[in-house]
Amino acid sequence: MHVNLLGYHEVFINGKKVNEDVLSPAVSQFDKRSLIVTYDVTPLLKTVNNDLIIWLGSGWYTEGLPGVVANGPVVRAQMEHVHEGTKEVVVYSDPSWVGRESEYSRISDWMTGRYGGETITGNLETRNRIFETPDELKWDNILTVEIPEHQVTPQTVEQNRIRETIHAVKIEKLNDGTFLVDMGKCLTGWFEITFPDLEKSQEVVMEYANHLDNNGELARQGQTDKYIASGNGTEYFINKFNYHGFRYVKISNLKEVPQLTDIKAHLIHTDFEFASTFECSDEDLNRIHDMIAYTLRCVGLGGYLVDCPQIERLGYGGDGNASTVTAQTMFHLAPLYNNWLQAWEDVIREDGSMPHTAPNPYAAGGGPYWCGFIISASWNTYQHYGDRKVLEKYYPVMQKWLGYVDQYSVDGLLKRWPDTDYRNWYLGDWATPEGVGNPVNTDERSVDLVNNCYISVCLSQMENIAGVLGKTEEARYYSEKRAQLNNIIHETFFDAQQGYYATGSQIDLIFPMLAGVAPEELKIGLTNTLIERTTKEYGGHLNTGLVGIPVMMEWAAINNQPDFIYSMLKKKTHPGYLYMLEQGANTTWEHWAGDRSRIHNCFNGVGQWFYQAIGGIRSIPGKPAYSEFLVDPQIPEGVTWAKTIQETPYGKIGVHWELHNETMTMEVEVPVGSIAKLISPQSAISTRINQEVITDQSDTISLKSGKYFIEYSSK
């Protein structure tokens, strides 16, 4: 059975749901594309007299958004009998179908800060009549609407599913009739409660937030559900076509305290699986790693990564760029990124302009780092999964956007482009900490430096992409264009007297080194300045935001700076990841101080460092899918062992190292078809691999597929 829907749906045959999917289909840009979800319904069909029910909800198909012409969800469906290579259409949607209003209705208009929730009227028994005795209910004629022409394609990303059920840990009585439920941790998904006895028409209100404010009150985040009681039967609430990002639930107009055992929440995300594990001797690092991984699960609903599930729910390119390497390392996300990149192709404008989010329902803030997602995410997806078709498909889109960049370049440097009705702001870094060296991420010098360094990175990625696609002349063009840009960046922003670029913030020092702007002879001095300023002016803390975190982590792994990163991650005061954890967080925040959102895809780019540096598994540019990779653990003082596993298209990579006085042991597993490039520690005097003394004095040793036990000795 094929279902093409604008909105959300669930399908039932003979009273039974066809599968465990929820909030289906995945997101798309409705004025450009809608998705088809296909089900095998064979096991649910009877020989005769089958009841087919498609339950609909509006979701993103909301009045006023691009491509929306109807006041409610719209569906097309077709059931086919497939047998021995033949297909026969059994039933399809037409004006003869009938419909009815369900006991669910939506609250609010599905806009930023106003995602509302759902109202349910009636007890569970009433709601179940549609499955048990549908012929006894009143059904009405349906409306047929004309939808603007657009692409209709099969959904190629996993569906959303309930991945974990969480039980309430505490109920606090605030006053007569009002209770505060604590689920014990933040999550994205549904709330479920069986109420104590209620009076007929009693309206119970549930408000949600991911944190309490400084006064201990529920933060206002525009998330509300209602339940209107029957006065008999099982008074039961569970979401269906909306969801929340929350930890706390304030329940009002309830005369009797509910039982803890009657309250649950359900973590929902796209049905991707873990691709890696990390554990080391430092429990603080393990806690940070686990918080990052869990946060990515909380923002991975709908076939893309949102900024946050409760306030905006938008697929920001900046947040995506900042977390892509981490997310693709931690999880199997090839289908999700294919779906998301398709949305980016769908939202580019005729002049090559990009919005800051995809899908792009309305204007949102960002900058070039947000728009360039189409280049960086495509390249990183190829690097992780080896899918050349991604590069082939989106290469013209990348070129089109870079043409737009050229339109707004002055004397070789990209400058601010105009706001539009689909995009606003012009950011460099974003969400930098307040009160720590006072980085001014809005300073024009820093904005222009960061954005042009990012364009340099994009040109480097385009050179690589053109090379993979066999476009030799275009690869040379992007290489030369990048070299010219880097010279202009250096000449414009480097202050020889001060010894740093632009404002001298962490990102202003690091990004020119990572992007290849800084001449080789300046890098030692820039690194020393970075470490000195971090220690003396920032109190050893992070001084950067969304863009700066992944830039810093990539630079540190390439340049073997584990102690620099480790010292900042170990800080338990603001700003830092341990500060979040010390405040009770289990998901990362939008701002270092905890403002606004506390389930957010802003600072998750740190996750890549655990695998690349401490774990020691690093991909090699141009060697996709870990066909070749580096094994190079970078060990900060204070960490004595680490176990890292990463699943790749070739199979499992495993690195488990331990320090023992003057020796280091390491177990390495290389999958079939891959080659590991083993980099020996500088302190190693002798090396044994599988008990054999290695006389090769080169810095790098190649390991083919297999399992290895390696011993390094420093004496």
Full-model pTM: 0.97
Contact 273, 570 (CB under 8 A): no
As a whole number of Å, the CA-based R_g of the chain is 27
3-state secondary structure of 459: helix
Summarize pLDDT for 534-579 with one digit per residue, the tens.
999 999 999 999 999 999 999 999 999 999 999 999 999 999 999 9
Instruction: Give the number of other Cβ atoms within 10 Å of residue 533's Cβ.
Output: 17
Dmax over CA atoms of the chain, in Å, equals 86
Rounded to the nearest integer, the mean pLDDT of the chain is: 96
pLDDT value at position 72? 86
Strands 117-121 and 223-228, by their bridges, are parallel
Summarize pLDDT for 491-528 with one digit per residue, the tens.
999 999 999 999 999 999 999 999 999 999 999 999 99
Summarize pLDDT for 642-688 with one digit per residue, the tens.
999 999 999 999 999 999 999 999 999 999 999 999 999 988 889 99
Report the pLDDT averaged over residues 374-402. 98
pLDDT value at position 340? 98
- DSSP assignment of 27-93: ---TTTEEEEEE---GGG--SS---EEEEEE-TT--TTSTT--SSS-EEEEEEEEEETTEEEEEEE-
The residue to which tokens 């604590």 are assigned: 182
Picking from 82, 73, 159, the residue whose alpha carbon sits closest to that of residue 110 is 73
Contact 602, 589 (CB under 8 A): yes
3-state secondary structure of 449: helix
pLDDT value at position 698? 78
- pLDDT grade for 358, boundaries at 50, 70 and 90: very high
Strand blocks (E) in 394-493: 409-410, 413-414
Is residue 697 scored above 80 in pLDDT? Answer: no
Residue 619 φ then ψ, to 5°: -70, 160
Residues in the chain: 715
Summarize pLDDT for 232-241 with one digit per residue, the tens.
999 999 999 9
Distances (CA, A) of 292 to 245, 287, 331, 586: 16, 9, 12, 9
**Helix (H) or strand (E) segment spanning residue 430:** none
pLDDT value at position 435? 79
Picking from 647, 658, 711, the residue whose alpha carbon sits closest to that of residue 680 is 711
Picking from 337, 319, 246, 326, the residue whose alpha carbon sits closest to that of residue 289 is 326
Q: Which amino acid is at 228?
A: I
Structure tokens, 563: 């102690």
Is residue 440 scored above 90 in pLDDT? Answer: no
Structure tokens, 121: 């009227």
Q: How far apart are CA 259 and CA 170, in angstroms?
A: 10
Report the pLDDT averaged over residues 64-92. 93
Half-sphere exposure of residue 393: CA atoms within 13 angstroms, side-chain side: 18
Report the pLDDT averaged over residues 202-210. 98
Least confident range from 316-320, 567-571, 579-583, 692-696: namely 692-696
In terms of C-beta density within 10 A (0-12 exposed, 13-18 middle, 19 or more buried), how is residue 646 classed? Answer: buried
Q: How far apart are CA 287 and CA 148, in angstroms?
A: 49
Summarize pLDDT for 96-125 with one digit per residue, the tens.
999 999 999 999 989 999 999 999 999 999
* Strands of 663-670's sheet in order across: 276-280, 641-648, 651-660, 663-670, 706-713, 686-689, 692-693
Instruction: Give the number of other Cβ atoms within 10 Å of residue 697's Cβ.
Output: 7
- pLDDT grade for 439, boundaries at 50, 70 and 90: low
Kindly report whether the peptide bond that precedes residue 25 is cis, defined as omega within 30 degrees of 0.
Answer: yes
DSSP structural state of residue 177: T
- pLDDT grade for 328, boundaries at 50, 70 and 90: very high
Picking from 304, 418, 369, the residue whose alpha carbon sits closest to that of residue 29 is 304
CA 102 to centroid of chain Cα atoms:
33
Half-sphere exposure of residue 247: CA atoms within 13 angstroms, side-chain side: 20
Percent of the chain predicted with pLDDT > 70: 100
Angle at 535 between CA 531 and CA 540, to 5 degrees: 105
3-state secondary structure of 608: helix
Q: How far apart are CA 631 and CA 242, in angstroms?
A: 44
- pLDDT grade for 714, boundaries at 50, 70 and 90: confident
pLDDT value at position 352? 98
In terms of C-beta density within 10 A (0-12 exposed, 13-18 middle, 19 or more buried), how is residue 403 classed? Answer: exposed
Is residue 139 scored above 80 in pLDDT? Answer: yes
pLDDT value at position 438? 66
Q: How far apart are CA 452 and CA 375, in angstroms?
A: 15
Instruction: Give the number of other Cβ atoms within 10 Å of residue 670's Cβ.
Output: 25
Picking from 673, 661, 677, 675, the residue whose alpha carbon sits closest to that of residue 712 is 661
